[in-house]
Amino acid sequence: MEMGRLAALVATLPGWIVLMVERDELNLDDSSSDEFKTKAFATREELFEAMEQGIEKARKALQGTTEDHLMMPWRFVMGGRLLYEMPRHVMLTDAFSHLAHHRGQLTVYLRMNGVSVPAIYGPSADEQ
């Protein structure tokens, strides 16, 4: 995955929380899901704005839901196949794990391109 697309994925993953709370599935074969297909942004400002909007929308979606709703199943469909069906709260946890995985990939890209790696869980080696 190219670095711009990976950065966009990391920035927009918080917005997936809205999807998991408000919709019953993500079906990548359905054109209504096109907004969840990752595309690189033209500028850093667009990237940061998308991240901030996703975080704000996710916060509102979580504040507006209930435990009972989060126990309801959520599905991920692609290529006409059901890939996952689990309670929403499990999929939300998986989304955070997915974010951590791709954030790690992004730090490798940064290091390979001579960019200082920012602190994630405390100071990075580049900040000392």
pLDDT for the residue 51: 93
Q: Exposure of 32 by Cβ count < 10 A (0-12 exposed, 13-18 middle, 19+ buried)?
A: exposed
Statement: 3-120 belongs to CATH 1.20.120.450: yes
pTM exceeds 0.85? no
Dihedral (C-alpha) 97, 100, 102, 103: value to the nearest 10 degrees? 170
Give the pLDDT confidence of 11-66 residue by residue, as tens digits: 999 888 999 999 999 888 888 777 777 888 999 999 999 999 999 999 999 999 99
**Structural domain boundaries of the chain?**
3-120
Alpha-carbon distance 75 to 91, whole Å?
Answer: 9
As a whole number, mean pLDDT of residues 68-77 equals 96
Alpha-carbon distance 55 to 17, whole Å?
Answer: 9
